[in-house]
Amino acid sequence: MKNFLLLIRSYIRLLLNKTNKGNEDQIPSGYRIKPLSFGIGFPWGSFHPKNLNQYWKGKDCVTFNDNCIMLNVRKTPHYFGDILIPYNIGVIQSSHKFEYGYFTAEILMPSESGQWPAFWLYGSQEEKYSEIDIVEAYSNSGNYGHSTKFQPNLHYATGKKWKMYGAVNRPITDATRRFVKYSMHWTKDFVKIYYDGFLVMDYRDKSFLSKLLPMNLVCNSAVKKEFNPPNFSIVTFRNINVYQKNNHHDY
């Protein structure tokens, strides 16, 4: 009954969104599309030392097809020295860092359990780190057809001191059967995040926002090993775009 009510509520939200123009995200006036190129993997090596569930190895799990980018998860255990890591995942990151703008992608989520794909931005500078998660999607032990585990989030860290805002679950219907649009409008005054045109985050604490660094745009597949992911899964991204004003900079 609880899952049924969550699904009904999410259908109502999407239905309301179709008639409530105030909630629909649009390319902001005066913004222009930016050239966008990607590299493979993260800059900190082949795996993250705090997450030994997964590694990324070249183009093994990345496929480009027209305007779609397919990021796989493959259970192909690999030794890194004495460390055996079970899952190979697909990771792409923008070649440039961005400060402010409008970011959007359409994503078809995998249907399997134990999934953790994400569409996000991160930046680091000496001991500072910042992150905007447009969406982190957790299927856990179920699947996204009956899950509320779609989360926007903001992070900022100086040294070992972390501040976080967000990580509120947002229900989305049929995310494994259709492409859902995820977008974010980031300015010095706010971060607004939309799922299928529905506003799911409107954050305006300028003392926090002023600490966000220029950031790379990232798309990745990933898994949560404790929820028994399968040997193979795939998440598909399409129409990944960044728009900025002429006076906005990339790095």
Tell me the average pLDDT across 129-154. Answer: 81
Tell me the average pLDDT across 170-181. Answer: 88
Tell me the average pLDDT across 56-81. Answer: 93
Least confident range from 23-37, 65-79, 193-207: namely 23-37
Least confident range from 15-19, 165-169, 205-209: namely 15-19
> Which tens digits make up the pLDDT trace of 107-119?
999 989 899 999 9
Q: What is the DSSP letter of 115?
A: B
How far are the Cα atoms of 73, 117, 152 from residue 224, in angstroms, in the given order? 11, 10, 18
How far are the Cα atoms of 41, 106, 143, 246 from residue 175, in angstroms, in the given order? 25, 10, 10, 34
**Contact assessment for residue 191 and residue 209, using Cβ atoms and an 8 Å cutoff:** yes
Instruction: Give the pLDDT confidence score for residue 67 in this predicted structure.
Output: 82
Tell me the average pLDDT across 73-97. Answer: 96
- Distance of alpha carbon 184 from alpha carbon 201, whole angstroms: 9
Residues 6+ positions from 36 with CB-CB distance below 8 Å: 94, 217, 240, 241, 242
Q: What is the dihedral of CA 128, 42, 50, 52, to 10 degrees?
A: 180
Q: Cα Rg for the chain, rounded, in angstroms?
A: 18
- Tally the C-alpha atoms within 13 A of residue 250's C-alpha that lie toward its C-beta: 19
- Distance of alpha carbon 24 from alpha carbon 17, whole angstroms: 7
- Distance of alpha carbon 250 from alpha carbon 98, whole angstroms: 5
Tell me the average pLDDT across 65-79. Answer: 94
> Which tens digits make up the pLDDT trace of 1-30?
444 333 334 444 443 344 344 467 889 999
- All domains of the chain, ordered by start, with CATH? 2-244 (2.60.120.200)
Residue 123 has pLDDT above 50, yes or no: yes
- Here the tokens at position 186 are 């980031």
**Contact assessment for residue 140 and residue 114, using Cβ atoms and an 8 Å cutoff:** yes
